[in-house]
């Protein structure tokens, strides 16, 4: 008996990296999987039907149920086509894992409009378009047959939540997904949908493209025995995502950092200090009262 028996899942960007591992585990746990992947390069350019089809073939060869989809997650038509394909192939849709992502790292002073816009398109629109299409489907089904559990898992990044030099575009989009997750949960609860987000950390094509990362990984693999378990392997992220995708998962609107065998819970934006006056502040008064904000020490509980 699998944890996702009989459920239908779409996983975007599932042709490679962490999404591929989600797809393989979801199928092993009994889900029928729409394996979406445009087959793009790290920077989002190009397309290739190969990765999505290969993962679907792998699932089918192992006795599971899967179909490939090569739509662009940021396109309204592509997002709708994904949902339609899940319903026409497998009769329903219960889970959407928004995972597709790209990088365009540049220092802010050198960032082009295209570097900014493409990241926003694939990251934010690429979460929004499939989520809207899935939510519209669940709104309809909740009216037709009553509420049945559905789950959305979004993919953020510590680059956004903690910040990372060279990634104002990617980081802004990824931290935006924290708010997107929180607000989508508020809106979709009435249709029986849970919406959570993870920030993964693992060795993939994307992370190995960061300057120096491939060399550091090569060195690490010389010193660490990974025959039993590799803490940097992309397969480590999938079990927690599968749990977030179970029909009775109690987690709602939360964001987690998942790395190796560790899962960390983020707290949302929270107020930690205040100043107040009964009336209009003068700038002079604020010069006295407000500097304590600049000195406030946040406890980020950074795990690295
Ligand atoms: N690997 C990490 O450590 C890490 C860290 C933080 C965040 N992430 C996020 O995790 C997700 C998966 O990343 P990964 O490391 O597995 O990368 P990856 O490059 O191995 O896989 C991403 C996949 O998304 C696909 N894709 C890109 N644009 C697409 C589009 N418009 N439509 C459909 N598919 C598209 C690519 O073809 C690729 O196969 C991304 O959202 C990434 O930002 C990863």
DSSP letters for 208-261: HTSTTHHHHHHHHHHHS--SS--TT-GGGTHHHHHHHTSTT----S-EEEEETT
**pLDDT bucket at 246, cuts 50 / 70 / 90:** very high
Q: How many residues does the chain have?
A: 304
pLDDT digits (tens, 9 = 90+) for 173-208: 999 999 999 999 999 999 999 999 999 999 998 889
Q: Is 264 one of the annotated active-site residues of the chain?
A: no
The residues near 31 (Cβ < 8 Å, ≥ 6 apart) are 2, 4, 5, 7, 8, 9, 65, 95, 245
Q: Cα(74)–Cα(57) distance, rounded to whole angstroms? A: 25
pLDDT, mean of residues 53-74: 98
Please report, for the chain, how many H helices and E strands are present, in that order: 12, 8
pLDDT at position 122 is 98
102 within ligand 1 shell (Cβ under 6 A): yes
The class level of CATH for 8-265 reads alpha beta
| Half-sphere exposure for 20 (CA within 13 Å, toward CB) | 19
- Residue 43 above 90 pLDDT? no
pLDDT digits (tens, 9 = 90+) for 94-145: 999 999 999 999 999 999 999 999 999 999 999 999 999 999 999 999 999 9
Contact call for residues 110 and 30 (beta carbons, < 8 A): no
Ligand 1: atom nearest CA of 126 is: 31
Q: Spot the catalytic one: 170, 256, 264, 304.
A: 170
Out of 46-50, 142-146, 167-171, 278-282, which region has the weakest mean confidence (pLDDT)? 46-50
Q: Could you tell me which residues are beta bridge partners of residue 66?
A: 33
130 within ligand 1 shell (Cβ under 6 A): no
pTM check: above 0.75: yes
| Half-sphere exposure for 269 (CA within 13 Å, toward CB) | 9
253 within ligand 1 shell (Cβ under 6 A): no
Return the best residue to mutate from 71, 119, 206, 214 for the ligand 1 pocket (most ligand atoms within 8 A of CB). 206
Q: For 92-132, give the DSSP string.
A: ---EEE----------GGG--HHHHHHHIIIIIIHHHHHHH
Q: Cα(297)–Cα(302) distance, rounded to whole angstroms? A: 13
189 secondary structure, DSSP code: G
267 secondary structure, DSSP code: P
pLDDT, mean of residues 250-271: 97
69 within ligand 1 shell (Cβ under 6 A): no
User: Residue 161 Cα, ligand 1 centroid: separation in angstroms?
Assistant: 17
């Amino acid at each position: 008996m699998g944890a996702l028996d009989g459920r239908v899942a779409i996983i975007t960007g599932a042709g490679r990296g962490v999404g591929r591992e989600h797809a393989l585990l979801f199928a092993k746990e009994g889900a029928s999987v729409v394996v979406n992947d445009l087959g793009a390069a790290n920077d989002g350019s190009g397309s290739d039907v190969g990765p999505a089809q290969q993962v679907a073939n792998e699932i089918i060869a192992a006795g599971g149920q899967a179909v490939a989809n090569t739509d662009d997650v940021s396109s309204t038509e592509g997002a709708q086509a994904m949902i339609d394909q899940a319903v026409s192939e497998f009769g329903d849709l219960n889970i959407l894992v928004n995972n597709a992502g790209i990088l365009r790292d540049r220092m802010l002073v050198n960032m082009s409009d295209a570097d900014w816009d493409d990241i926003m398109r694939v990251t934010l629109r690429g979460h929004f378009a499939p989520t809207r299409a899935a939510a519209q489907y669940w709104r309809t089904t909740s009216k037709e047959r009553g509420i049945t559990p559905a789950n959305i898992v979004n993919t953020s990044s510590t680059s956004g939540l903690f910040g990372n030099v060279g990634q104002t575009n990617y980081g802004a989009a990824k931290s935006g997904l924290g708010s997107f997750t929180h607000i989508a949960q508020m809106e979709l609860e009435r249709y029986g949908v849970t919406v959570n987000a993870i920030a993964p950390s693992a060795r993939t094509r994307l992370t190995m493209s960061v300057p120096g990362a491939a060399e550091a990984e090569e060195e690490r693999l010389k010193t660490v025995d990974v025959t039993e378990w590799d803490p940097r392997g992309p397969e480590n992220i999938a079990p927690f995502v599968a749990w977030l995708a179970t029909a009775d998962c109690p987690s709602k609107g939360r964001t987690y950092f998942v790395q190796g065998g560790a899962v960390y819970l983020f707290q949302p934006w929270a107020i930690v200090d205040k100043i107040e006056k009964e009336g209009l502040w003068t700038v002079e008064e604020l010069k006295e009262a407000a500097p304590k904000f600049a000195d406030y020490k946040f406890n980020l509980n950074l795990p690295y």
